[in-house]
């Protein structure tokens, strides 16, 4: 309880801190929203010209973008500190988290606020509302969407944690972790109908990209509990795995003495 209270307080302070730099704060949010809208328009044109692939319609693409954008927004707004892990480790700024009496992961995640990711949250919610309208979602499907958002957020967080834990193993891991994260994120935004056979297996079990967008859309579309159950199991496994990887990686921390400023 104390951990949650502190996490919420830290997020509030980070928002206040970001809002101090008002222009940058607002521009970040608007910029990210525009970026996402352009992306979805391109996919709309693609479906219109290519047609339906493996049962995926424009509505499904909107849903997919909604799930992924919302996950991205939630994890990287409130928990933007995870994305800075490579920088924290390289500069030695990670020291201050080790000195905190709070859970290390919570402390790191809530050490920074990603203003631009708020744009993703807004965009994600709008997309999911449009998606629900387009598929004329039943109450059951709406409840599924809400549950799957929570599941997707946990998978997204786990994937981010595994990737950014690599920061402890390389001297300057910023570029490496960014590339590795793109390897997870890019397929998650891709047309779900394109993943079949081996590709579907790899991007579900090895790299959990499909768990944050494609599979949730398919579960909502089919209103399928049979598909939901394995996704839930995989989510729990990924979460446990990511925590174990992170805890092991932290022990590799070697600190450094660069000048840094706190948050």
Partner 1 sequence: MSSNSIIVSNLTKKFSFSARNESSGWLKNLFSPEKKEIIAVNNISFSVKHGERIAFIGPNGAGKSTTIKMLTGILFPTSGNVNILGLDPTKNRKKLAYQIGTVFGQRSQLLPNLPLTDSLEFFGVMYDMSEKEIKTRITELIELFDLDSFITQPVRKLSLGQRMRAEVAASLIHKPKIILLDEPTIGLDVVAKKALRDLLLKINKEENTTIFLTSHDVGDIESLCERTIVINHGEVIKDLPTEDLSKTFIYEKYIDLVAKTSFENFPELPKGITYSSKDKNKITVIVDIKTISVQNSLKELLTLFEVEDIDVYNADLETVIRHIYEKDSQKL
Question: CB atoms < 10 A from the CB of 21, how many?
Answer: 12
**CB nearer to partner 1: pick between 57 and 103:** 103
Q: Which listed residue (43, 46, 96, 174) binds partner 1 by CB under 8 A? A: 96
Our finding on whether 226 is near partner 1 (CB under 8 A) is: no
200 counts as binding partner 1 under rule CB under 8 A: no
Q: Report the residue from 4, 13, 44, 150 that binds partner 1 according to the rule CB under 8 A.
A: 13
Q: Does the protein bind partner 1 through residue 169 (CB under 8 A)?
A: no
Say if residues 111 and 263 touch (Cβ distance below 8 Å).
yes
Which part of the chain contacts partner 1 (CB under 8 A), choosing from 14-22, 38-46, 80-88, 194-202?
A: 14-22
CB 59 within 8 A of CB 220: no
Q: How far apart are CA 237 and CA 148, in angstroms?
A: 16
* Distance separating alpha carbons of residues 212 and 68, to the nearest angstrom: 6
Phi, psi dihedral angles at 102 (to 5 degrees) = -100, 165
Q: Which residue lies nearer to partner 1 by CB, 48 or 251?
A: 251
Per-residue binding letters, 236-255, with partner 1 (x by CB under 8 A): ---------------x-xxx
Of all helices (H) and strands (E), which one includes residue 84?
none
Q: Tokens for 200?
A: 């579907």
Among residues 37, 90, 102, 176, the one that binds partner 1 under rule CB under 8 A: 102
Cα of 172 vs its chain's centroid, Å: 23
Residue 263 binds partner 1 (CB under 8 A): yes
From CA 140, how far away is CA 145, in angstroms rounded? Answer: 9
Given 41, 52, 98, 236, the residue binding partner 1 (CB under 8 A) = 98
Region binding partner 1 by CB under 8 A among candidate stretches 1-9, 35-43, 129-137, 187-195: 1-9
C-beta of 166: minimal distance to partner 1 in Å? 17
3-state secondary structure of 131: helix
Residue 205 CA to residue 56 CA, distance in Å, equals 22
A 10 A CB-CB count for 106 gives 18
**Positions in 19-48 near partner 1 (CB under 8 A):** 20-21
Residue of 39, 58, 92, 147 interacting with partner 1 (CB under 8 A): 92
The reply to whether 78 sits near partner 1 by the rule CB under 8 A is no
Residue 9 binds to partner 1 (criterion: CB under 8 A)? yes
Query: Residue 41 and residue 25: Cα distance in Å, rounded?
Result: 25
Residues that bind partner 1 (CB under 8 A): 2, 5-6, 9-10, 13, 16-18, 20-21, 92-93, 95-96, 98-103, 251, 253-255, 257-263
């Amino acid at each position: 309880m104390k951990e949650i209270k502190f996490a919420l307080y830290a997020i509030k302070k980070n928002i206040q801190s970001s809002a101090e730099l008002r222009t940058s704060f607002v521009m970040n949010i608007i910029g990210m929203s525009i970026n996402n809208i352009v992306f979805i328009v391109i996919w709309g044109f693609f479906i219109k010209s290519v047609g339906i692939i493996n049962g995926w319609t424009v509505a499904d693409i909107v849903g997919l973008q909604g799930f992924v954008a919302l996950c991205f927004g939630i994890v990287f707004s409130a928990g933007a500190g995870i994305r800075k892990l490579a920088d924290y480790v390289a500069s030695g700024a990670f020291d201050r988290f080790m000195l905190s009496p709070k859970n290390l992961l919570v402390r790191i995640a809530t050490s920074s606020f990603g203003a631009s990711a708020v744009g993703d949250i807004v965009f994600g919610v709008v997309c999911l509302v449009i998606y629900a309208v387009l598929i004329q979602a039943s109450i059951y499907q709406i409840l599924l969407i809400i549950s799957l958002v929570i599941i997707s957020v946990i998978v997204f967080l786990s994937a981010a944690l595994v990737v950014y834990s690599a920061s402890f193993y390389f001297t300057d891991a910023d570029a490496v972790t960014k590339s590795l994260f793109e390897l997870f994120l890019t397929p998650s935004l891709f047309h779900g109908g394109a993943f079949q056979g081996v590709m579907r297996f790899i991007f579900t079990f090895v790299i959990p990209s499909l768990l944050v967008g494609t599979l949730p859309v398919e579960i909502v579309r089919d209103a399928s509990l049979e598909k939901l159950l394995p996704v839930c199991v995989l989510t729990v496994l990924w979460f446990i795995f990511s925590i174990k990887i992170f805890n092991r990686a932290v022990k590799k921390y070697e600190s450094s003495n660069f000048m840094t400023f706190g948050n």
